[in-house]
Amino acid sequence: MSEHRKPYPEIHAAGSGRVGRLTGGESMAPVPPDVTLPPDVRMVATDLDGTLLLPDGTVGPRTRAALDRLRETDVDLVIVTGRPPRWLEGVAEMTGHRGIGIAANGALVLSLDDDRISDLFEVPVDVGLEIVHRVRSLVPGATFAVERAIRRPDHHSTDVTEFALGLGYVPRWEGVTKPRELPIEELLREGGTSKLLMRPPVDFGMSADAMFDIAHSALADICEVTHSAPSGVIDDPLMEMSAFGVSKASTLAHVARSHGLGPDQVVAVGDAPNDIPMLEWATTSYAVANAHPRALAVATYVLPANTDEGVADLLNAVAESRG
């Protein structure tokens, strides 16, 4: 548990909750029977992949019922994901949530109802170019891609996003439309970069955690670096870079402030290294049991794995506490 955390009086929601508290030396396995909540929860922030969603990317029936139940309360739900907006199509239908979403690791705030983007925290052009320069000196043969947001002429909204490839970058998944491919410097100079992606050469032989440690050391003074790979993965150590100070935590704090809320009134749940900032920001946080060890290490509590729909236990507990 992080040093800044202060103990709350334990509030238990009876029934489906299965959660264990983390203290020094204890097992991080879920322990029945109750979900422990802070007082006065007014917002739930949840990651999607590996957390709220099942491994096949769908919403389980217990989770959907819990989401519907939460929607009948005065508690706001915020989906906080590393996904770009183009990968959020269908999330509103699956979850029933048509409110606020935070995408691209905090670079964008949008409405899941109409996909309108209200806030964009982009990587400045000169910073993007410096990131590329530094990474190439450390990882020869690294390739890059960008997630971009294209501004409307009135500059009051940003509704169009694009995935574009630097030369040689091989995307993990093929899309319906082939992305543009240009030298990464040209793409960065177009502006609107919400997230810069980097892959080392296929034979680089380094885990995502090790690659992150190197990249973070080299880039921490100019940008935020993260990844969402499971622990020990070496076949796809994708790094994701955002503007300096921009993370799931910073944008969740921004959204919470707009609702008049602080970290004591927000609970956050996630599973991956890119969730760590928001798990540390929220005074009370949860990791699912399948989470990366670094995420488990900073969470206040552990929920059952996403395969067991552990987030449903938290949602039901919050709904019951407000009911």
- All CATH 3.40.50.1000 domain ranges of the chain, comma separated, are 37-120+247-322
Q: What is the mean pLDDT of the chain?
A: 87
Asked if residues 237 and 214 have their Cβ atoms less than 8 Å apart, the reply is: no
- Which pLDDT belongs to residue 29? 40
**How does pLDDT run across 99-130, given as a tens digit for each residue?**
999 999 999 999 988 888 889 999 999 999 99
* Calpha distance 209→229 (Å, rounded): 8
Question: In this structure, which CATH number among 3.30.420.40, 3.30.1240.10, 1.20.1290.10, 3.40.630.10 belongs to the domain 125-243?
Answer: 3.30.1240.10
Cα distances (Å, whole numbers) of residue 62 to 53, 67, 95, 100, 162: 11, 9, 11, 22, 34
- Which pLDDT belongs to residue 149? 86
- Count of residues making up the chain: 323
The whole-angstrom distance between residue 236's C-alpha and the CA centroid of its chain comes to 18
- Which pLDDT belongs to residue 156? 53
pLDDT above 70: residue 175: no
- All CATH 3.30.1240.10 domain ranges of the chain, comma separated, are 125-243
pLDDT above 80: residue 231: no
Q: What is the mean pLDDT of residues 18-40?
A: 55
* Calpha distance 88→108 (Å, rounded): 12
In this prediction the pTM is: 0.87
pLDDT above 80: residue 234: no
Domain 37-120+247-322 architecture: 3-Layer(aba) Sandwich (3.40)
